[in-house]
Each structure stands twice: as C-alpha cells, then as structure tokens.
C-alpha cells in the first residue's frame, strides 16, 4: 500500500499537531520524539509519520520524500521552498518581531541585527528603507543585544517571557506566524483525493 507520507515538526509543536490529528479520528499513538524513532507507519490510516527538525520539514516535502507536512510560517518565509501552502492549521501561533533592549530610546539607530531568519530580516529592513548588518545565529538570539553583538534581534515571540527575562521589548511586529499544512507539488496532484479528504476533515475541526 502506498502510504501518505506526512512530515511533522519535532519540538514544542508536536503535541499540538498530534492533538489536531486526534480530533479527526487519526490517533497516532506511540509517536513520541523521546523514543528517538523517526518514522512510524500506520497502515490503518494509510500514513507514514516522519519526525523532522522544524526547519527541515519543507525540504522533505519539496523533494517529495514526504507528500505533505506541517511547517511553521517562519520557516516557509525564510526558506521559500517550492511547496504548496495548503492551509493555516492555526497551531503554534506567535509573531515575528523586531526587539530591542528595554531601555533603548525611541528612534535609536539600528546597525546590527541578530537572527535565525536572515533572509526575512533583510527583506524587512530593506522595505523599511535602511539596510542593516545581519548576524545569523542558530538559537538564543536574545543574547545578541545583551552581549553587545547586535542592537536588535528579529525572532518569534510567543508568550513574550523570553524577551522579558532578557530585558528586551518589541519595537515592531513584522507578521503573525502559525503552522501551515504544506504539500509536495507532484504529490498534491497524484494523491489529491486523499489530501483533499484530509483537508476537509481538518477544516471541520479548526
Ligand atoms: C523561541 C524563540 C524565542 C522564544 C520565544 O526559541 O526563538 O527565543 O521561543 O518564546 P516566548 O515568547 O514564549 O518566550 P526556542 O525555544 O525555539 O529556542 P531557541 O531560541 O534556542 O531557538
């Protein structure tokens, strides 16, 4: 049987994603990133679940090793992979924002920005009319202004507690972020019946 291969993001969004599938009577029991197992077959649902790093989900889908996937809008905006964005799953809602030190006066110049999202950051500041130097980090970007590496950061903000704990404040919100259902372009045509059926079910519970 040709299973529908679904790439899911590991990490904080995984539980929410599995709960969403449960609501449409697809209970992917046993899928658990702590087990270190990276794929699970569910013949009863005709699916293979693949657990991937969030930033790699669009890559698996673009190359067709996963037919569909659940990926953050942040990663989609940054990597611009050749995939279809099918629907907003409204999971892991947060915002992409520019943040600066709490005590930074308004209109203080920004020369350097630390971020995990260099392309998105560059586009944002070019739109604003002032290009900045971008320093790519892989995590804990809030350290940038604390250590004097950068004047600002661009990062996702969810509860805001990481900013608060590190004495930073939002200067500007760039865009809202949430998880999206994405599809490989060929799979979407070849497996349209099963993918459309899944989307219909998801739409009903969202
Ligand atoms: C993300 C993000 C912020 C934090 C925001 O980091 O990069 O640091 O979450 O969440 P909050 O507003 O609820 O505090 P993550 O936990 O993914 O770790 P990382 O920074 O090391 O990538």
155 and 124 inside one domain:
yes
If phi > 0 it is left, if psi is from -120 to 50 it is alpha, else beta; for residue 52 that is beta
Q: Quote the ligand 1 centre to 51 CA distance (angstroms).
A: 20
Q: Is the dihedral of CA 119, 6, 70, 155 positive or negative?
A: negative
Q: Confirm or reject: Cβ of 104 under 6 Å from ligand 1.
A: no
Count CB neighbours of 146 within 10 A: 14
101 and 82 inside one domain:
no
183 and 81 inside one domain:
yes
190 and 88 inside one domain:
yes
Cα dihedral: 159, 201, 60, 10 (round 10): 40
Task: Specify the pLDDT at position 33.
Answer: 84
Residue nearest to atom 19 of ligand 1 (CA): 139
Task: Specify the pLDDT at position 34.
Answer: 86
Which one, of 71, 75, 69, lies nearest residue 96 by Cα? 75
115 and 170 inside one domain:
yes
Q: What's the chain's average pLDDT?
A: 96
119 and 152 inside one domain:
yes
Task: Specify the pLDDT at position 170.
Answer: 98
123 and 169 inside one domain:
yes
Pocket test for ligand 1, best of 97, 153, 156 (most atoms within 8 A of CB): 156
74 and 123 inside one domain:
no
User: Tell me: the pLDDT tens digits for 123-181?
Assistant: 999 999 988 999 999 999 999 999 999 999 999 999 999 999 999 999 999 999 999 99
Number of folded domains in the chain? 2
80 and 12 inside one domain:
yes
Q: Quote the ligand 1 centre to 157 CA distance (angstroms).
A: 7
135 and 163 inside one domain:
yes
Read off the CATH number of the domain in which 13 is found: 3.40.190.10
Structure confidence at residue 8 as a pLDDT band (50, 70, 90): very high
- Is pLDDT above 80 for 9? yes
107 and 133 inside one domain:
yes
Instruction: Tell me the pTM.
Output: 0.94
Q: Quote the ligand 1 centre to 11 CA distance (angstroms).
A: 11
Range of the domain at 182: 4-92+178-205
Contact, 139 vs 161, CB < 8 A? Answer: no
162 and 187 inside one domain:
no
């Amino acid at each position: 049987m040709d299973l529908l291969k679904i790439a899911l993001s590991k990490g904080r969004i995984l539980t929410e994603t599995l709960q969403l599938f449960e609501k449409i009577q697809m209970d992917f029991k046993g899928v658990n990133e702590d087990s270190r197992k990276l794929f699970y077959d569910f013949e009863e649902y005709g699916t293979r679940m693949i657990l991937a790093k969030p930033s790699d989900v669009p890559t698996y889908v673009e190359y067709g090793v996963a037919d569909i996937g659940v990926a953050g809008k942040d990663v989609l905006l940054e990597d611009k992979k050749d995939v279809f964005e099918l629907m907003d799953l409204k999971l892991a809602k947060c915002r992409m924002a520019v943040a600066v030190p709490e005590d930074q006066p308004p209109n203080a110049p920004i020369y350097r920005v630390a971020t995990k999202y260099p392309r998105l950051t560059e586009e944002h500041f070019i739109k604003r009319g002032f290009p900045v130097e971008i320093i790519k980090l892989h995590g804990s970007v809030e350290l940038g202004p604390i250590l004097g590496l950068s004047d600002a950061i661009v990062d996702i903000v969810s509860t805001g507690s990481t900013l608060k704990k590190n004495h930073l404040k939002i200067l500007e919100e760039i865009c809202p972020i949430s998880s999206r259902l994405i599809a490989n372009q060929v799979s979407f045509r070849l497996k349209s019946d099963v993918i459309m059926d899944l989307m219909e079910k998801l739409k009903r519970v969202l």
